[in-house]
Chain A
Amino acid sequence: MSENIVELSNLEVNFKIRQGFVNEYIKRDKKTVRAVDKINLNIGRGEIVSLVGESGSGKTTTGRAILQLTPTTCGDILFDGQEIKTKDKQYMKKFRERAQMIFQDPYQSLNPRFTVFEIVTEPLILTNKKASIAEKEMLAIEALEFAGLKPAIEYLYRYPHELSGGQRQRVSIATCFIMAPEFIVADEPVSMLDASVRADILKLFVNMKEQKGTSFLFITHDLALAWLISNRIAIMYLGKIMECGPADIIAGGCMHPYSQALTSVLAMVGEKRKTERIVLKDETPSPLFIPSGCRFHPRCPVARPECKEKEPEYREISPGHFIHCHYPQKII
């Protein structure tokens, strides 16, 4: 039993771009998208780590790579201290029981032709857990009740189109819960739900963490939500982790210019801003054309000449607080 459930070292995930026949075979001009560009991250047992970033940052790809839904190009992923043996069928079967995923779109993540019962008990069928229908029903009811669908019996034989978005997400969570996994990747699980239902879903994650010791990789673009439930937050930009540390420090005392920009534009409802907003110019560049040196330098408000030449190292500036920057400083 290792201390960390997931360890990523120098993880790289590249995608090849399909180009025309001439370019690809004759000119040999292979363009690759470096979606995840050498990141290091540890997720401890019973810990919720958030991966925060905008589109193109590589956060979703990271989550999917850990679960082997996307092939990795380079680097190591250790699960429970062991390398993930993708070729070993027995190992993979076990792995799939222990590590699962919750998707963003509640409307697409449930098969419209399955009843809730069939959806929730599908993992049981796939792992060949010999159980009678009655036993399966009991387990399904337990899972649905945990996910907050009460009385569970009412929902067991309904179809997804009869449920609201929030209820569908709960069904997804129940499907995870029934296997009691040790690690869950939650990819923007509440961004398509109304604000008033989000808290309930997030509470379920915290409950799972506390009751079952499940670890989470919570992927989101909403820094404020990440701060609410995480132990640690990692902020990604264009495939690299810019800053990673305890949630309170990232929210209140982050040192990377990008993190500070993100926290400064968080809109507060009913609260006067405590700081000026740093609204960065332009948009995140395409991952096909990653800037030289520190990839953030074109938009960085305090960039120096060195930032264009040399890529910074990912170093620890205080216990548990890592940063990818030449000159971390408080801008505001």
Chain B
Amino acid sequence: MSDKLLEVQDLKTYFTITKGVVKAVDGVSFYVNKGESIGLVGESGCGKTTTALSVTKLLPNEGYIDSGKIIFDGKDITNLGDKELSNFRWKEVSMIFQGAMNALNPVKRVCDQIVEAILLHEDVTKKEAMERVKELFELVELDTNLMFSFPHEFSGGMRQRAIIAMALACNPKLIIGDEPTTALDVMVQAQILDLINDLRKKLHMSMIMITHDLSIITETCDRIAVMYAGKIVEMGNTQEVVENCFHPYTEKLINAFPNIYQERKMVDSIPGDPPDLYNPPKGCRFAPRCHKKIGDICDSVEPTLIDYSGKEHFVACHLRRNS
């Protein structure tokens, strides 16, 4: 019995636009073990949200999975039909979207919205669903007396907790959080991250955390996958990757975050812009901006993700190949 809850193999998700095809995710492979959390980190346009949407099958109309496999709990879900999908979504995998605080319907009570989510997926009575909502509120540390409030009566942090409660409603095995703390205050962010960590331990949930903020990942994730221009450039145990990063992009990204315990010097920045995914460059996609480019090979040959150290630390870089 494999330990892997989710396995994504060579996923390619493309979008059709008027002038052609945008290769948003171009050959991404990773896995999530049971009870483990992995962070997908990268900057805007790198494909991390698209990857998550591909797994939950929530791609917009222009998006489609071109090739690759998604295996969840041993089952191939790449081409699930609509009926099976409704059993799959929210019960096995649920998602916390970006800007989730605004995902609550302002004219419905919070409890009603969560009840709605439950009734859509479970065969229970409304009363049982309400009981479940009460449990969930306690789980996310919200006062159960506030169950019958409207979303605008909640503060930002409380709304986020309500959204998390909704995501947990059907006891999913995997929860995907797409920038769940971006719009929150620093202190509330710390509270929510603590909550997420506690919940994961209590419920033995797996988690994919998507964010551009590396510091969140180091707080909550066991493993990390760094994405750039639709591909994963480095992946491995969070501690290992951060302390011994291989890929030049990872190195720059880590150094872009200030550290107040170190000497006060300006952080790193990366010149230039990410490549156009409509017409991606041949060879390594980071090559045009790479400060450690070794030569023509970087521009012509695409590096593959390889585990050099044997410690499950994967890198896609020609530099490492030579050392």
Contacts and interface: CB of A to CB of B under 8 A. Distances in A.
A and B touch in the complex (CB under 8 A): yes
Interface of A: 54-55, 164-165, 194-200, 202-203, 206, 221-225, 227-229, 247-248, 251-252, 261-263, 265-271, 274, 277, 279-280, 283-284
> Chain A contact residues: over half helix, strand or loop, or mixed?
helix
A195 B43 contact: yes
Interface string B76-103: 0000000000000000000000000000
A237 to B, nearest CB: 10
Nearest to B187: A280
A194 B42 CA distance: 9
Interface residue tally on B, bucketed by range: 35 or more
B242 A224 contact: no
Contact of B242 (A54, A197, A225, A270): A270
Interface stretch (B25-33, B54-62, B262-270): B262-270
Given A195-B214, A279-B187, A283-B185, A270 B243 contact: yes
Contact of A265 (B186, B257, B268): B186
A279 B190 contact: yes
B106 interface: no
Contacts of B299: none
The residue in B156, B185, B187 that gathers the most chain A C-beta atoms within 10 A of its C-beta is B187
Interface of B: 43-44, 155-158, 185-191, 194, 212-216, 218-219, 242-243, 252-254, 256-262, 264, 266-271, 273
B253 A266 contact: no
Nearest to B213: A195
A292 B190 CA distance: 26
Nearest to B265: A228
A279 B191 contact: yes
Contacts of B262: 271
Given A55-B185, A200-B271, A269-B257, 4 more contacts: A54-B187, A196-B252, A228-B264, A263-B260
A224 B261 contact: no
A198 B185 contact: no
B219 A267 contact: yes
Q: Ordered nearest first, which 7 A-B pairs have the shortest CB separation?
A: A267-B215, A199-B269, A270-B242, A54-B185, A196-B270, A224-B258, A265-B190
A284 B185 contact: yes
B233 to A, nearest CB: 14
Nearest to B216: A267
Nearest to A273: B261
20 contacts: A194-B43, A195-B257, A196-B269, A196-B270, A198-B267, A199-B266, A202-B267, A206-B266, A224-B260, A227-B258, A261-B187, A262-B187, A266-B186, A267-B219, A268-B218, A268-B257, A269-B214, A270-B218, A283-B185, A283-B187
Nearest to B217: A269
Given A199-B268, A199-B269, A268 B215 contact: yes
Contact of A283 (B157, B261, B270): B157
A225 B264 CA distance: 11
A261 B216 CA distance: 17
B155 A283 contact: yes
Nearest to B270: A196
A247 B256 CA distance: 19
B261 A271 contact: yes
Nearest to A194: B43
Contacts of A274: 261
Given A265-B190, A270-B218, A274-B261, A196 B185 contact: no
Contact of A268 (B155, B187, B194, B261): B261
A265 B185 CA distance: 11
Nearest to B43: A194
B260 A252 contact: yes
Contacts of A270: 218, 242-243, 254
